Structure 1
Amino acid sequence: MLPTDLDAITELDLQRLVEVALPEKRTIEYKREFYRLTLKDPHVPAKDQAHQRAQCVELLKDISSFANSLGGHLLIGVEATNGIPKEVRGVEHENIDGLQLQISELAARWIEPRIQFNVHAVPVANTRHVIIIRVHQSMVAPHRVIYGKEPGQFYARNTAGVYSMDTSELRQAFGLSQTISETIRTFRSHRLNEVSSGRGPLMLRGIPSMMVHIVPLASFVSRMNFDAAKLRSVQQKLAPISPTVGSSPRFNLDGICVVDPSHGRSRSYVQIFRNGVIEATAGGVAAARPGANMPDDEYFSTQFVRYLLDRLPGYCEAIRKLEIPGPAWILLSFFGMQKVWIHGHDSDWGCCNQDELILPDVQIEDIELDSADELMRPALDILWNSAGFERCFRYNSSGKFTL
């Protein structure tokens, strides 16, 4: 009933819920008043402080229970009777922006692991607002509330409301998370083997190559299946990891592949699969260096790292345009790297002694990325470790990867 774009929701949309008498269910709950989230004050009586703590826990329970179930909406400022919305009242608050920030900070601090949700305030009559908290179904559930010094509780939702998860439900939830993690690792290993063996979109066998996957968790658990037209709509965000301007899209069994149209040793493509996973590969990331003392060896071109960092925000934007929720993982790998030299600092060079380099996963919560430099720094440190260096020396004092 509510628009997909949270920021586009208006009072008219909320009034429509009242008109059709949309009842509360697992994915929607109405609250007449807002939670009392006043911070602890030594001058406030102990019984009132206890009430405030209980209100914070109540908010955290409501948010986490959506994440541990099917996701949904918490609408604060809508009066309901027996679960049926009757009036869009709104709530009064002197600082709505500050209130939204407080909700975000409480959830970030007292729910673990962190969950994906958004808060939006809809202005209604008489300077009041309805606060909408949209919580995405979590792919890394279960989440627990750890407010204060309590050991933490897990909550979920059914048609009757919020309840504490029992042992069997927790065992099932944890098992599902482990299964998903194993599925993603298997997918990465399979694709790395396929492409490095010459069975990918481009022949890269025997060529030092870089491969990155952006893997939204929702792609593996929600059975997403985008058609060619939908994938084509995000093609402009899928620039290959190369200096070439322009690209050539190809439809294939897996989705759409955007290929670098240039020819020569540098070969790159971006494949977006029908479930929304993105794979970008650049071949020829190392070459013989003119005048080198070891002409038979090859030297890693850090320019390709710069291309990668510049392309990643666009890949994430493509996933967002497909309305795939977070979290997601960025998986960076290399193959054909044995005897490839990497520049450390000053005149030092180090040699990789492994063909395949599987770098640590990098997690992004909401698939929104303005700059990838700092985000990818831990993974790039490991790349430089593989050549015998303490860290990647290409970062400047501002955290920017430089050439």
Structure 2
Amino acid sequence: MTSVLINNKPMSEWTLEELMVLLGDEQWRESATIDYKCEFRASDEGFKKDVCAFANAQGGYLFFGIGEDDGVPVEIAGIENVGLDKFNLAISNALSASIEPSRPAYESHVIPVGENLCVLIVHVFEGVSKPYRVRSEGRFWIRGNAGNEFMSYKTIEDLFLRTNMQKDKLQQIVDSRVGYLQREGALSALEYRQRPMFAAHFIPISVVSEHEKRYPLRDLFGKAGALFVPEGEAFGKLFDCPAAQINMDGLMKLGEERDAPRHIQLFWNGMVEFGTAVLFRQTKEAFFQSTFDPSIVVRLVPEMLGATFDYYRQIQMDEPVYIILSIENAAGWRAVCLKWGIDTVVDRSRLRAYPVRIDDRSAQAVASAAREILDEFGYLIGESDFSRFLGRGAD
């Protein structure tokens, strides 16, 4: 769904003034994308059911602390204001532990409305892994204009088929690209062949939904040096790619060190591909020939998201995008960061993280996606809740 605007403002800018606009207005009555609640408890089964129902449909907004009469908002009652961080922690813990196949993406916003009172707004994004259900209940819910409804058998079947088809296509795209990069001479002077590599792919939803678009990358060639300027310790270290050239797929930027290949490929259809072998070097923490430091990925992901979405603003690409991280040819390598208590062995040659979808480019939504991406990467190296290391230094 398109993000809801009140007074032409996105959710992150809403204040008490925007909430007052809702009161008594039929336009803002409960619907397929809006619900009002007087109370909030993250552990409540009804909250989890609401999140699943919105994620199984087109997404939606839950307003906690607003009373309604026959679906029309009539009162700003407020709930106890414990702070956005505590709200987010409670929501994340409740959803991660109870919803399958995975926690739907969401963002939240707190608006103070009185002494120690607030309205909490939770924006649930349309799910990428439909259908979702509350594990303890076992039922599939979907949101409609009349509220939450049981899914029909056909709807459940269609969602499974559609999700699997998109996942298959995403997998095929990444496999095809990584397979190409592993060929001899694929990138001329650079060689990834038969050596460990880290890859990240940003894939617009139009690429997998048969509505592929084309962006004017050739017009950007003259200022290609300004695209993806390395900023941040991890991004600069792994993707310092000054040279640019037009190729069949779009615009490519190449690193200059033959023994440390890295590249950025910008595709005509809006895809972005990062590849590097720099990550796979011996760490200082273990006397073992084949080790790499996973803490670099923790620092890299937020920087990589920021750089990519800045590029998308330049080409005016605002559609939802999937992000997939990969590790290739690293079977037997150890992921080591002793300060964080990480020392695991990669058990296979090809690893693909579960795709994470980003619909909203707000700072909060991107931060939430960064956590989800890191958690999916953590599964590749046998480390659950990997996002807990965000903001922590490895040294």
- TM-score > 0.5, shorter chain as reference: yes
Note the residue ranges of structure 1 that are not aligned, 5 or more in a row.
40-55, 288-299, 346-355, 382-398
Which of structures 1 and 2 has the bigger CA Rg?
Answer: 1
Whether the 8 Å contact between 1:250 and 1:256 is mirrored in structure 2 is: yes
Q: In the TM superposition, what is the alpha-carbon distance from 1:253 to its structure 2 partner? A: 6.0
Going from structure 1 to structure 2, the CA distance change for 1:256 and 1:304 (only over 3 Å counts) comes to: farther
The AA in structure 1 aligned to 2:229 is Q
State the TM-score, normalizing by the size of structure 2: 0.65
Residue-by-residue CA offset, 1:31-57 (whole Å, 9 max, x unaligned): 25124x498xxxxxxxxxxxxxxxx22
| 1:212 maps to which of 196, 199, 211 | 199
| 1:367 maps to which of 363, 369, 373 | 369
Residues of 1 paired with 2:378 and 2:333: CA distance?
A: 16
Going from structure 1 to structure 2, the CA distance change for 1:277 and 1:241 (only over 3 Å counts) comes to: farther
| 1:333 maps to which of 322, 328, 336 | 328
- 2:11 equivalent to 1:9: no
Residue-by-residue CA offset, 1:354-394 (whole Å, 9 max, x unaligned): xx94234366684315997x97576468xxxxxxxxxxxxx
2:64 is matched with: 76
Residues of 2 paired with 1:93 and 1:283: CA distance?
A: 49
Going from structure 1 to structure 2, the CA distance change for 1:327 and 1:9 (only over 3 Å counts) comes to: farther
Residues of 2 paired with 1:145 and 1:343: CA distance?
A: 36
Q: 1:108-187, aligned counterparts within 5 Å?
A: 108-113=96-101, 114-125=103-114, 128-147=117-136, 150=137, 152-187=138-173
Q: 1:71-110, aligned counterparts within 5 Å?
A: 71-85=59-73, 87=74, 89-93=76-80, 95-97=82-84, 98-99=86-87, 101-110=89-98
The AA in structure 2 aligned to 1:69 is A
Aligned identity (percent) is 18
Going from structure 1 to structure 2, the CA distance change for 1:236 and 1:108 (only over 3 Å counts) comes to: same
Q: In the TM superposition, what is the alpha-carbon distance from 1:213 to its structure 2 partner? A: 2.6
Q: In the TM superposition, what is the alpha-carbon distance from 1:161 to its structure 2 partner? A: 1.8
Q: In the TM superposition, what is the alpha-carbon distance from 1:88 to its structure 2 partner? A: 5.4
SS at match of 1:131: strand
| 1:236 maps to which of 213, 226, 229 | 229
Residues of 1 paired with 2:46 and 2:24: CA distance?
A: 28
Whether the 8 Å contact between 1:240 and 1:268 is mirrored in structure 2 is: no
What is the aligned length? Answer: 338
Whether the 8 Å contact between 1:31 and 1:78 is mirrored in structure 2 is: yes
Going from structure 1 to structure 2, the CA distance change for 1:88 and 1:206 (only over 3 Å counts) comes to: closer
SS at match of 2:118: strand
SS at match of 2:369: coil
Residue-by-residue CA offset, 1:147-191 (whole Å, 9 max, x unaligned): 4xx4x1111012222101111111111112221221122112211
Residues of 2 paired with 1:217 and 1:304: CA distance?
A: 29
Going from structure 1 to structure 2, the CA distance change for 1:380 and 1:105 (only over 3 Å counts) comes to: closer
Residues of 2 paired with 1:198 and 1:247: CA distance?
A: 22
Whether the 8 Å contact between 2:139 and 2:150 is mirrored in structure 1 is: yes
State the TM-score, normalizing by the size of structure 1: 0.64
Residues of 2 paired with 1:22 and 1:166: CA distance?
A: 29
Whether the 8 Å contact between 1:26 and 1:70 is mirrored in structure 2 is: no
Q: In the TM superposition, what is the alpha-carbon distance from 1:61 to its structure 2 partner? A: 1.6
Residues of 1 paired with 2:34 and 2:153: CA distance?
A: 26
Whether the 8 Å contact between 1:119 and 1:131 is mirrored in structure 2 is: yes
SS at match of 1:95: coil
Compute the RMSD of aligned alpha carbons: 4.9
- 2:17 equivalent to 1:22: no
Note the residue ranges of structure 2 that are not aligned, 5 or more in a row.
282-288, 313-317, 337-347, 358-367, 383-391
Structure with a larger share of its residues in helix: 2
SS at match of 2:306: helix
Going from structure 1 to structure 2, the CA distance change for 1:243 and 1:17 (only over 3 Å counts) comes to: closer
Going from structure 1 to structure 2, the CA distance change for 1:141 and 1:319 (only over 3 Å counts) comes to: farther
SS at match of 1:163: strand
2:388 is matched with: none
Going from structure 1 to structure 2, the CA distance change for 1:11 and 1:192 (only over 3 Å counts) comes to: same
Q: 1:262-301, aligned counterparts within 5 Å?
A: 262=256, 264-273=258-267, 277-282=271-276
2:304 is matched with: 315
Whether the 8 Å contact between 1:64 and 1:145 is mirrored in structure 2 is: yes
| Bigger mean CA deviation after superposition, 72-81 or 180-189 | 72-81
- 2:61 equivalent to 1:67: no
1:191 is matched with: 177
Going from structure 1 to structure 2, the CA distance change for 1:272 and 1:73 (only over 3 Å counts) comes to: farther
